[in-house]
């Protein structure tokens, strides 16, 4: 699965987590935090390929950096614009 992410569209980490839940069709029990995201991504058979068009700002940018590291740790790929 490939996800294109423009983090400039999200004004808070909470907004980004909500978008990830929708875009990745995460389960209803997704806890909207990094631990829950890791659990959900690690359950997938096919690794995530992430294309980051922009990192966003401040807290969102820090969250995107952590998500990028998580994706690569789980065997996915990350490309940035």
In this predicted model, what pLDDT tens digit does every residue of 19-77 receive, in sequence order? 999 999 999 999 999 999 999 999 998 999 999 999 999 999 999 999 999 999 999 99
**CATH number for the domain including 26?**
3.30.370.10
pLDDT of residue 63: 98
Residue range 3-18, pLDDT digits in tens: 999 999 999 999 999 9
Q: Which residues pair with 49 in a beta bridge?
A: 2, 77
pLDDT of residue 6: 98
What's the alpha-carbon Rg for the chain, to the nearest Å? 11
pLDDT of residue 67: 98
**How many domains is the chain partitioned into structurally?**
1
pLDDT of residue 74: 97
Residue ranges making up the domain that contains 17: 2-80
Q: Give helix 13-23 / helix 58-73 axis angle, nearest 10°.
A: 40
């Amino acid at each position: 699965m490939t996800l294109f992410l423009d983090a400039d569209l999200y004004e808070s980490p909470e907004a980004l987590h909500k978008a990830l839940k929708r875009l990745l069709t995460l389960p209803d029990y997704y806890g909207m935090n990094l631990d829950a995201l890791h659990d959900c991504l690690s359950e997938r058979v096919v690794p995530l390929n992430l294309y980051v068009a922009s990192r966003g700002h401040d807290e969102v940018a820090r969250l995107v950096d952590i998500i990028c590291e998580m994706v690569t740790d789980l065997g996915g790929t990350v490309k940035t614009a």
